[in-house]
A and B are shown apart, each in its own frame.
Chain A
Amino acid sequence: MAGRVALLFGLFVAPAVLLWLGQRLRDAGATRRGAFWGGVAGHTLALVATALAAMAPPIVWTGGAALRELVVHWSLVIGAGVGAAVGAAAGLRRG
């Protein structure tokens, strides 16, 4: 159940949060800009990983390999979150 919620969050909520972060990006500080671009990059990479893991091999992922199940359900949320955190940290360092 938690995995399913994480997948839905990653599919719908994470992009919405990133879009919200992207509002008036020109006026934003380096930290927010970094968080936005880091989040976008992380989410995009995670989306590719999720799509590949979900369909290759094309059999149901629940009850299968733990790694595959983890990638399909959690990578979108984790990818966006980690990407945003790394981007924000890089932006903070640049000042």
Chain B
Amino acid sequence: MPHTEVASPEQPRRSPTRTRARRASGRARTTARWMCPSHLWLGIITTGVVLLVSATGVLLNHKRGLGLMPDVPNEPKGSFDDALPLAELARRAAAAVGPEVAAAGVDRMDVRPDKGLIKVRFDDRRVMEATLDINTGEVLHVGERNDVFLEKLHSGEIFGDRWVLLSDAAAVALAILLISGYWLWLYPRSRQ
């Protein structure tokens, strides 16, 4: 008796292409089920941080125009070799900002040889900065560096060094929101 293969009606043979397409469709359906609530929850929970990071980012982009950092024009009065010692410049800056601010200590000194000036930033609450001529020691400007606070708020550093992770989380959340937003917009169109 010859052996013949008869395809069972209950179990029709599927081509590998159709099986793959069906699996892909199942995965897309699963993704669609969690994509919308994830987008919604992530969006609402990170609204505050994303808003804060965005607002501080815009302010930082225009920090000069908004007067958040001083722009002191100066021409070099001598060569860089003739500049006063750093300790002397720090002393003059401390005298310019007053004893209360000077007591907080110098945070950093930013030398600009091309402009012949040095910016001495203090570590006080208001972040005061004195700008001096490096050759004459003349005090050119004394004021707050408000952009430093905004930078720290932007990065999350205002709460402490490890809090930069908060800003990282907001950035990652924003990226996920963008991707999931595009997906939610394009997926239904791709099925039409």
Contacts and interface: CB of A to CB of B under 8 A. Distances in A.
A15 B47 contact: yes
A76 B44 contact: no
Contacts of B176: none
Nearest to B126: A59
Contacts, number: 55
Interface string B31-58: 0000000001100111111011001100
Given A51-B55, A55-B55, A60 B125 contact: yes
Main secondary structure of the interface of B (DSSP, over half): helix
B41 A16 contact: yes
B44 A15 contact: yes
A47 B52 CA distance: 9
B167 interface: no
B139 to A, nearest CB: 22
Nearest to B60: A58
Contact of B45 (A4, A15, A54): A15
Interface residues of A, number: 20
Given A4-B159, A76-B48, 12 more contacts: A11-B48, A11-B49, A15-B44, A51-B51, A55-B153, A58-B147, A58-B149, A59-B126, A60-B125, A60-B149, A60-B158, A64-B125
Interface of B: 40-41, 44-49, 51-52, 55-56, 59, 68, 125-127, 144, 146-147, 149-150, 152-153, 158-159
